[in-house]
């Protein structure tokens, strides 16, 4: 299985517009973070998780022209507002795309992007998505996906385990219950929320994330949804073995772990 980190930045992206802090003004390209998204590839199957506002650049960078499905973690703007850029995928595939999410997530997307869930259109003026409500583990071709619930401030998000614990994705969470930890335990690769050093009501900070990692014990943990509190080089040097900061464009083959 191959996981590509398409974006690892918090909702504002890094640099944040107008911010003059050291990280936002840094020359280190590793401190430039698009809004969070990953691509999961398994055999011939390619699944995109979320449609960030940076989706166009992300699809271009990863040279993606077809997808077997889009999986949504939740409906927040930084995870959904790039939805229109799926038009290019519809165009190249000449087909509608399956969009997976909980009933609540799909409802929130359909309220705001009703036009994207219509019947396929000849010229792909708008995306064409088929809502696929998640009710439990599901499959996209040979890719097995196991969803689980995560606490995200006053709301909930969906985390996902891919394959037989080959990889997992936990963005936008400030708390994980025991069921979630059990579902994740022993996963090879875990891409996991870590906003910064300071505590935040709807995201994990470094202390919380490292605590989760100790319980889940992945072979490799990659931090994501990172804000400008994190300078890549500084954070890299602080992290324990087996934990790395996210990096846009990072590709991990789980067979190598
Ligand atoms: Zn800044
Ligand atoms: Zn969110
Ligand atoms: Zn977010």
Asked whether residue 120 carries a pLDDT value surpassing 70, the answer given is no
Which residues, listed in sequence order, are joined to residue 130 by a DSSP beta bridge? 98
Residue 175 pLDDT: 98
Determine contact, residues 254/188, Cβ cutoff 8 Å: yes
* Closest-approaching ligand to the CA atom of 52: 3
- For the stretch 208-240, pLDDT in tens is 999 999 999 999 999 999 999 999 999 999 999
Cα-based angle 183, 203, 161 (whole degrees, multiple of 5): 25
* Closest-approaching ligand to the CA atom of 193: 3
Which residues, listed in sequence order, are joined to residue 131 by a DSSP beta bridge? 99
**227 C-alpha to ligand 1 centroid (Å):** 8
**Antiparallel, parallel or unpaired: β 97-101 and 138-140:** unpaired
Residue 125 pLDDT: 84
**120 C-alpha to ligand 3 centroid (Å):** 29
pLDDT band at 19 (very low <50, low <70, confident <90, very high): very high
Asked whether residue 206 carries a pLDDT value surpassing 90, the answer given is yes
DSSP secondary structure of 84-117: GGGHHHHHHHTS-EEEEE-HHHHHHHHHH-GGGG
Residue 99 pLDDT: 98
Residue 169 pLDDT: 99
Dihedral-angle region of residue 201 (phi above 0 means left; psi in -120 to 50 means alpha; beta otherwise): alpha
Mean pLDDT of 174-181: 98
pTM of the entire predicted model? 0.98
Mean pLDDT of 42-64: 98
3-state secondary structure 142-197: CEEEEEEEEEECCEEEEEEEECCCCEEEECCCCECCHHHHHHHCCCCEEEEECCEC
**24 C-alpha to ligand 1 centroid (Å):** 4
Could you tell me the fold of the domain covering 2-256?
Metallo-beta-lactamase; Chain A (3.60.15)
**55 C-alpha to ligand 3 centroid (Å):** 14
Q: Write down the mean pLDDT value for the chain.
A: 97
**167 C-alpha to ligand 1 centroid (Å):** 31
Please state, for a pLDDT cut of 70, what percent of the chain lies above it: 98
* Closest-approaching ligand to the CA atom of 36: 3
- Distance CA(80)–CA(51), nearest Å, equals 5
Which range, of 1-15, 107-121, 153-167, averages the lowest pLDDT?
A: 107-121
Q: How far is CA 178 from the centre of its chain?
A: 22
Give the DSSP H/E element, type plus range, for residue 212: helix 206-216
Which residues, listed in sequence order, are joined to residue 205 by a DSSP beta bridge? 196
**255 C-alpha to ligand 1 centroid (Å):** 36
Mean pLDDT of 105-133: 90
**98 C-alpha to ligand 3 centroid (Å):** 22
Asked whether residue 54 carries a pLDDT value surpassing 90, the answer given is yes
- For the stretch 121-167, pLDDT in tens is 666 789 999 999 999 999 999 999 999 999 999 999 999 999 999 99
* Closest-approaching ligand to the CA atom of 105: 2
* Closest-approaching ligand to the CA atom of 10: 3
Asked whether residue 245 carries a pLDDT value surpassing 90, the answer given is yes
Q: Any residues with CB less than 8 A from the CB of 182 and at least 6 apart, and which?
A: none
């Amino acid at each position: 299985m191959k996981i590509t980190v398409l974006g690892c930045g918090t909702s504002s992206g890094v640099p944040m517009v107008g911010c003059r802090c050291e990280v936002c003004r840094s020359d280190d390209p590793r401190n430039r973070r698009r809004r969070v998204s990953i691509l999961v590839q398994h055999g011939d199957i390619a699944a995109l998780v979320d449609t960030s506002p940076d989706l166009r650049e992300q699809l271009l960078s990863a040279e993606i022209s077809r997808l077997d499905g889009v999986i949504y973690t939740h409906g927040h703007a930084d995870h959904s507002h790039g939805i229109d850029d799926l038009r290019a995928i519809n165009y190249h595939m000449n087909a509608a795309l399956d969009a997976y999410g909980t009933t609540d997530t799909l409802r929130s997307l359909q309220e705001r992007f009703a036009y994207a869930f219509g019947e396929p259109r000849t010229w792909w003026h708008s995306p064409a998505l088929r809502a696929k409500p998640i009710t439990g583990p599901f499959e996209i071709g040979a890719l097995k996906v196991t969803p689980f619930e995560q606490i995200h401030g006053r709301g909930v998000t969906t985390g996902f385990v891919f394959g037989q614990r080959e990889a997992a994705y936990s963005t936008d969470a400030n708390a994980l219950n025991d069921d979630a930890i059990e579902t994740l335990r022993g996963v090879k690769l875990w891409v996991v929320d870590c906003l910064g050093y300071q505590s935040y009501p709807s995201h994990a900070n470094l202390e919380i994330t490292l605590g989760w990692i100790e319980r889940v014990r992945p072979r490799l943990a990659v931090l994501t949804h990172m804000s400008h509190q994190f300078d890549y080089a500084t954070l890299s040097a602080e992290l324990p073995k087996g934990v790395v900061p996210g990096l846009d464009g990072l590709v991990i083959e789980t067979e190598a772990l």
